[in-house]
């Protein structure tokens, strides 16, 4: 089966993917802009770490709120509010850059707004996408995010750092106009009345919050998501700085940091199609989820271990691009596993998982700075720790995962 691009469902996928494009692009601006900003404001490595991690601090606080508000207030309203708030936060960043405190607060607000987005999108996808098309839908969603990171990585090194924030902040405001045009107030019904392609799984058990915590299959997903994000945040937050300070990349070379995101985008779509193809060939859902998750964690772990000892810029970019490509396979693995084990509560389980998986983003800035300073400017411990976390996350997921309803 294919997604029909002129259907109402396909327009939701397209608009949500575009929102994720902007969401992801906004996250990449600061890791690139912080290099000229540091040269201007003379920030220490520790200050840079906290500026980079401030986003994750805000992101950590809003995941569960996004899931709850999407159910109670409507996904359309929450998505518009989310995009509006993160676009304003992006736009005003240059105006606050003279103060580290104000900049950190702005970054926290940006993270809070962006944290509302994906749980809301998961809520929509769980209500509008057939099970046979979910891997592809999540693949397109992930690919759009990677495309946003790619575009920002190519453009931002060639712009004045202030302009990067202004342009992408304005893009979010344009998205709101598109959403209102395609879904005016009377044309978008509440999510609980959306026609489901697959009926919600029946469950006579009353769900308690403890059910989201005590289930091993859910913790398998949470652990895999945590491991995936540990590598993702290191690459997203620190790759431009690492290439600039350690491998002497100039502004033109920094545009090549788009390559990992291009590979990530391509692999995200391919992995979704491969996963759905394996399901059509008779593979069990659990086998597919485990295979794609193990590829998505073990592969990046091994290639990051090699990356950290490479001193040539082209080879380093190739290795980190392969790592990012393998990371994209998780979209058809543990990220899709939410709707398998919790079909009625996938928005909530994703919100919990994403909240836990934001901890690496909070720790990544100060921990990376501390490790680099403690090892006299060497990054070996940073990347080897990511390898260990990935391998452990793959082991936990393979041992405890399920693909049948648990709540």
CA distance 179 to 64: 24
**Predicted pLDDT at 354:** 84
Residue among 250, 15, 238, 264 nearest 149 (CA) = 264
Is-contact 233 56, C-beta < 8 A? yes
**Predicted pLDDT at 379:** 92
Q: How big is the chain by its Cα radius of gyration, in Å?
A: 20
CA distance 137 to 117: 16
**Predicted pLDDT at 355:** 86
CA distance 146 to 238: 17
**Predicted pLDDT at 149:** 84
**Predicted pLDDT at 187:** 39
Is-contact 327 199, C-beta < 8 A? no
CA distance 323 to 310: 14
**Predicted pLDDT at 42:** 94
CA distance 364 to 368: 6
End-to-end alpha-carbon separation of the chain, Å? 28
CA distance 31 to 3: 35
**Predicted pLDDT at 289:** 97
* Structural domains of the chain, ranges and CATH numbers in brackets: 8-186+209-400 (1.20.1250.20)
How far is C-alpha 273 from the geometric centre of its chain's CA atoms?
Answer: 20
Residue among 257, 57, 63 nearest 156 (CA) = 257
pLDDT along the chain (407 residues), means of 10: 56 88 93 95 94 93 81 83 95 96 96 89 75 72 83 92 96 91 53 41 68 93 97 92 89 86 86 92 96 97 92 93 95 92 85 89 92 92 95 97 92
Residue among 371, 381, 310, 355 nearest 111 (CA) = 355
Q: How many CB atoms lie within 10 A of CB 387?
A: 22
Is-contact 260 333, C-beta < 8 A? no
Residue among 30, 364, 49 nearest 230 (CA) = 364
């Amino acid at each position: 089966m294919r997604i029909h691009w002129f259907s109402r469902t396909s327009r939701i996928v397209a608009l949500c993917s575009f929102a994720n494009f902007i969401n992801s692009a906004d996250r990449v601006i600061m890791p690139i802009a912080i290099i000229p900003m540091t040269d201007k404001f003379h920030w220490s490595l520790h200050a840079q770490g906290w500026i980079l991690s401030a986003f994750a601090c805000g992101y950590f606080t809003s995941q569960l709120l996004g899931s709850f508000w999407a159910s109670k207030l409507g996904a359309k309203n929450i998505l518009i509010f989310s995009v509006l708030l993160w676009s304003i936060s992006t736009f005003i960043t240059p105006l606050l850059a003279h103060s580290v405190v104000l900049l950190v607060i702005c970054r926290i607000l940006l993270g809070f707004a962006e944290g509302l987005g994906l749980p809301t999108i998961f809520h929509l996808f769980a209500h509008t996408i057939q099970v046979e098309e979910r891997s592809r839908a999540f693949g397109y969603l992930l690919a759009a995010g990677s495309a946003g990171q790619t575009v920002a990585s190519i453009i931002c090194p060639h712009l004045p750092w202030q302009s990067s924030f202004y342009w992408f902040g304005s893009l979010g405001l344009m998205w709101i106009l598109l959403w209102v045009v395609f879904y005016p107030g009377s044309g978008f019904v509440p999510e609980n009345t959306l026609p489901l392609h697959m009926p919600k799984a029946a469950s006579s058990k009353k769900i308690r919050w403890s059910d989201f915590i005590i289930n091993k299959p859910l913790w398998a997903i949470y652990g895999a998501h945590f491991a995936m994000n540990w590598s993702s945040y290191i690459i997203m937050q620190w790759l431009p700085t690492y290439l600039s300070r350690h491998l002497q990349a100039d502004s033109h070379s920094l545009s090549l940091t788009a390559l990992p995101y291009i590979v990530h985008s391509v692999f995200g779509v391919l992995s979704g199609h491969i996963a759905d193809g394996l399901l059509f060939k008779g593979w069990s859902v659990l086998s597919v989820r485990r295979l794609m998750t193990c590829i998505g964690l073990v592969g990046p772990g091994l290639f990051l271990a090699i990356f950290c000892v490479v001193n040539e810029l082209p080879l380093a970019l190739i290795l980190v691009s392969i790592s990012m490509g393998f990371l994209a396979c998780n979209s058809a693995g543990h990220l899709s596993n939410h709707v398998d084990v919790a079909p009625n509560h996938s928005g909530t389980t994703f919100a919990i998982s994403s909240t836990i998986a934001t901890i690496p983003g909070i720790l990544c800035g100060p921990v990376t700075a501390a490790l680099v300073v403690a090892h006299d400017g060497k990054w070996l411990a940073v990347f080897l720790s990511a390898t260990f976390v990935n391998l452990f996350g793959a082991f936990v997921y393979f041992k405890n995962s399920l693909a049948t309803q648990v709540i």
